[in-house]
Amino acid sequence: MIDAADRRHLARCSELAERGRRTAAPNPVVGAVIVRDGAVVGEGWHERPGGDHAEVVALRAAGDARGATVYVNLEPCSHHGRTPPCADALVAAGVARVVTAMVDPTPKVNGAGIARLREAGIAVDVAGGEIERAARRQNAPWLTLALLGRPHVTYKAAVSRDGRTASPAGPRWISSPQSRAQVHELRARVGAVAVGIGTVLADDPLLTARDTDPPAARQPLRVVFDREARLPAGSRLAASAGPDAPVLVVAGPGATPVAAPHVETLAVASPAEALAELGRRRISALLLEGGATLATAFLDAGLIDRLMLYRAPIELGRGPGLFTRAVELPEPWSTAASGPDILTVTELREA
């Protein structure tokens, strides 16, 4: 049975997990809290692949966890990977109870961690309900990659009050400086950012994560979708491509590869094939920043998982919309202010 204290500690696990958002991929973001006699004695989070898992970090911080309750936003692992199983570490530490927000549905675990704990006489509670749904949303990139073999796709767009994403008069900021700063942080947190060739030719974007706090330690893979591979060699994307800032052009079969250093051309027949290749490269999250044509192609293929809209308090009168056709969207599950804008987040597919 989950009570108010359990919910509070699980919420803290979620907060701790976010500290690994930039660095843990393609692993899940996980936080752990250890409580004994009503007091928090240890906390931890998973920082990067190959590093200690959250439970192990929290156990080390606690020192002595005998008889304690361990909270974690994801079922403790039960298999040997780069590190030993967390379930075994919890058994060895002599904890009395484990509370997890959700069962790990991936084939390597899928309840085996919970079974290992219970076999050792440790009480285990799974929160379920809205706590589980929130935990799955938090780890949607990892779940999508693990279960579907492709990155989780978030379509991000700035939209005016009358539903326009660009002005017919030419380039113009729609969203506020606060919203644009958030987008740079989003780029720092994903493995890839994608646009269509129309956006490149119209706006000549860089698509890098800039002016973040702290500064981005790495840049996302920058992806351009264009059947004809027309990325100009003089574009800012091509000119800024390098070993630490690669560019990938997704083209159709038979397209002539782009002749520019550190720009790779990938020939595929569909967006789904492109995402499958990104999945093979262990990219778990993709931020789609393209215009209506590319977004509609992704939508029609069932490849948009999440929609993030920065709704600005301006009207443009004319210009393109989010998609090239009318689309009925579900109600957003999250709404927040972003300067003068309103950010709405809608799940088109639950993880």
Tell how far CA 203 is from the center of its chain.
25
Catalytic residue among 55, 75, 289, 347: 55
Q: Residue 106, exposed/middle/buried by CB under 10 A (0-12, 13-18, 19+)?
A: middle
Q: For residue 282, give both structure tokens.
A: 């262990």
Are 324 and 171 a contacting pair, CB within 8 Å? no
Q: Cis before residue 220, ω within 30 degrees of 0?
A: no
- Any bridge partners for residue 287, and if so which? 154, 193
Looking up tokens 């279960």 gives 147
Q: How far is CA 124 from CA 31, 70, 106, 173, in A?
A: 17, 10, 19, 51
Neighbours of 204 (CB within 10 A): 14
3-state secondary structure of 177: helix
H or E segment and range at residue 321: none
The separation between CA 243 and the C-alpha centre of its own chain, rounded to angstroms, equals 23
Query: Residue written as tokens 């644009």?
Result: 180
* Length of the chain in terms of residues written: 351
How far is the C-alpha of 270 from the C-alpha of 32, rounded, in Å? 40
Is 55 an annotated catalytic residue?
yes
Residues 6 or more apart whose CB falls under 8 angstroms from that of 168 comprise 316, 318, 319
Which letter does DSSP use for residue 343 in this model? Answer: E
Q: Active-site residues: which are they?
A: 55
